[in-house]
Structure 1
Amino acid sequence: MTNNILEINNLSKSFQGNRVLQDVSLTVREGDIYGLLGKNGAGKSTTMKTVLKLIKSDGGTIKLFEKYNIAETNTYLSDIGSLIEAPSFYPNLTAIENLKILQRLANVPWDNIEKVLKIVDLQDVPKKKLVKNYSLGMKQRLGIALALLKFPKLIILDEPTNGLDPKGVREIRELITSLPEKYGITVLISSHILSEIEKMANRVAIINNGQIKYEGGLKELEQTNRLIIKTESNDLAVRLLQEHQYLINKADEDYFELNNMDQTKIIQINQLLVKNNIGVYELHVVQNSLEDTFLKITEGV
């Protein structure tokens, strides 16, 4: 049985009367790379900051590791690493010196520094090189190294690929996808780069105007396909399918379309049309992408 690492229920938050989060509920399971998706201002960062107690919620509950209610304790924070917005460093110190400060504060073994530098592929950077002379990609990797230093059960990453070039984005993606399997670290990551989340996450939530509009696995999204059909008599075909309780999403003289089609339904529809002597000369499936679902939810497209 998979343990729940993070459970958020009915979380709400307002700033100066402006509702930012409204009854947000989501569950991150052990081993997940869980993508939190939304437009700027949708509530992603606020949700993450509330989990980390950087912001106090107005209502709702947050439970960590199936035993900690964050309203009652701070103990859980020792098992969480985070990179929220831009990483913070002492620019005139080296990577090791920055990590050493946190290592002492967190009271973790010294050799954790060497381990995390290797994980983020900074082990070969000259040891005397100051962080202010790092590239943006190197700074992002060092930020993740700081978040990993305690080897936490959960790491929370807020837009970790922001501003990176394609090579840097790929490097961060490969690093993140290695964390659950290699190190047993569950990942909660926010992003507006849908294609990257699609390559990393196994489960996602889409938040819009402070509300969760979708939560589930990417495989479930892939199963919600559109079926486009062209027949010798579309009007007759549409009436027949409607009589059999199929919902036609769109229809015109050239084609008609049905949503949420799985393989079984597609076979049944084709057989029904052929059985009733309606010639089908085109039938194809359009697989919904994460972008399709995101735009439908957030823009009504």
Structure 2
Amino acid sequence: MAEVVLSVNGLKKAIGGKPIIHDITFDVFAGEVFGFLGPNGAGKTTTIRMLVGLASADGGSIRIGGVSLQDDFPRAIARVGCIVENPELYKFMTGRENLEHFARMSGGISAERIEEIVRFVDLSHAIDEKVKTYSLGMRQRLGIAQALLHNPSLLILDEPTNGLDPAGIRELRQFIRRLAEEEGLAVFISSHLLSEIEMMCDRVAIINKGRVISVGLVQELMEQFADQVEWTLPASHIAAGMDVLNHQPYVVDVWQTAEDRLKCRMDVERVGDANRALVRANIPVLGIARKTVTLEDLFLTLTEGGDRSGT
């Protein structure tokens, strides 16, 4: 069993007497990329600010490497590297000067460690150039290098792909996967980009309106909603078709996605049985299609942010 690097239990926060974070609980393990997924305004950044001590919690506990953040802040936060929103860098200084400045503030960071981390983030070719000449992707990597200098066991990134082009997003995704797989780091990433969480993360917590509504392996969460089948029927037969499908014991959860379409979850090996049941009820079947479920479908279903059309 991997080490629990970050443990959050029953976290609560109110602003102006209004509760905005409700009983948030999850664990993050060493060597995994953990996604914190929710729409803008869901409470992601507020939660992160509590995780790093920029805001106080009104209830619950945060433990980093087994150390309580509330009871022993210096020892707990020493195990954390973090970029909240955008990396704070001095653009008039070189990349190396930025890292050396941070190293002096942190203390105990050698020149050898700086060189090691520069190579790791693949900035050797530009480290002695001024940061104002860096692309956004290079600035993100320099910010991550700064966050990694003191050998943390937990890296927290708030919306790290914001503003990056597709090539920069892919590069950052590969780099983050390498941090977890090769360095054994626990990486906590908040995002509203469903596709990136799906491609980057091992597990995900889905948050909406300040509440965690689901936590699990990305693949397992998606499998809960797998094997969707779409039925195209004459619009006049939709209600009868829904009734027939609902009465089949192997069919789970039938819903209408268009005037002439129904969708349900079922074992696809039983599609023939369902088709025969519809035909026996004199319901013409105009089309049958298996639909692949994405994390976006799951997110919309769990947050009730839309229908479950899977389109």
**TM-score for both structures, normalised by structure 1:** 0.87
Q: How large is the RMSD of aligned CA atoms in angstroms?
A: 2.7
In structure 2, stretches of 5+ residues that fail to align are none
1:193-242 Cα offsets, whole Å, 9 max, x none, are 22111110111111111111221111123311222246899847843751
Between the aligned partners of 1:218 and 1:206, the Cα distance in structure 2 is 10
Partners of 1:9 and 1:245 in 2: CA distance: 38
Q: Which moved more, 1:88-97 or 1:232-241?
A: 232-241
Contact 2:244–2:278 (8 Å) recurs in 1: no
- Once the two structures are TM-superposed, the CA of residue 131 in structure 1 deviates from its matched residue by 1.8
Q: Is 1:299 the equivalent of 2:305? A: yes
Unaligned runs of 5+ in 1: none
Correspondence list, 1:147-162, <5 A? 147-162=147-162
How is 1:1-301 mapped onto 2 (pairs within 5 angstroms)? 1-65=1-65, 67-74=66-73, 75-104=75-104, 105-125=106-126, 127=128, 129-223=129-223, 224-225=225-226, 226-229=228-231, 235=240, 238-239=243-244, 242=247, 244=249, 246-250=251-255, 256-259=262-265, 261=266, 265-268=267-270, 270-271=272-273, 278=280, 282-296=287-301, 297=303, 299-301=305-307
d(CA) in 1 for partners of 2:271, 2:165: 46
Q: How far, CA to CA, are the matches of 2:250 and 2:269 in structure 1?
A: 15
Q: Give secondary structure in 2 for the equivalent of 1:170.
A: helix
Conservation of the 8 A alpha-carbon contact between 1:221 and 1:288 = no
Change (3 A) 1:80 1:254: same
Once the two structures are TM-superposed, the CA of residue 120 in structure 1 deviates from its matched residue by 1.6
Q: 1:267 to 1:55 in 2, by over 3 A?
A: same
Is the alpha carbon distance of 1:258 and 1:108 closer, same or farther for their aligned partners in structure 2, counting shifts above 3 Å? same
Over 3 Å counting, the alpha-carbon distance change for 1:275 and 1:14 in structure 2 is: closer
Q: Tell me the distance in 1 between the aligned counterparts of 2:53 and 2:216.
A: 25
What displacement does 1:136 show?
2.0
SS in 1 for 2:151: coil
The structural deviation recorded for 1:160 is 1.1
| Identical pairs, percent | 36
**Match for 2:21: what amino acid?**
L
Tell me: CA distance 1:135–1:275, structure 2 relative to 1, closer, same or farther (3 Å): closer
Per the TM alignment, residue 108 of structure 1 is displaced from its structure 2 partner at its CA by 2.4
CA contact (8 A) 1:151 1:185 kept: no
